[in-house]
Amino acid sequence: MEHHVRKIHNKKLFFIKSFIISVVLLIISYIAGIIGFDFFAGMADKYYNVDAEDYAKILVNACCIWKLLIIQFTLVPAIALGMLERHVKQEEMVD
């Protein structure tokens, strides 16, 4: 049974590391979006005929979706595996 606990623990660590890396990349993207907003909005206007206000809305929506995906696919599994790990350890102590 100890083997199962170790596997669960390793998977939990993987998801926690994935969450941290994803959040760091999200913060870097926020900073890049703020610093280069005028440049990127100009490119969007030139190539796609999107004005700066619409580009800002698109940028905010994309970041919100990205944040939700990070939470759904990295943080939630890490929490679930942590709960499962605790449950399996309690089961071992009872046996």
Structural domain boundaries, residue 85: 2-94
C-alpha 15/C-alpha 76 separation (Å) is 9
Domain tally for the chain? 1
The answer to whether 66 and 26 have CB atoms below 8 angstroms apart is yes
Residue-wise pLDDT for 40-82, tens only, equals 999 999 999 999 999 999 999 999 999 999 999 999 999 999 9
The answer to whether 4 and 55 have CB atoms below 8 angstroms apart is no
pTM here is 0.85
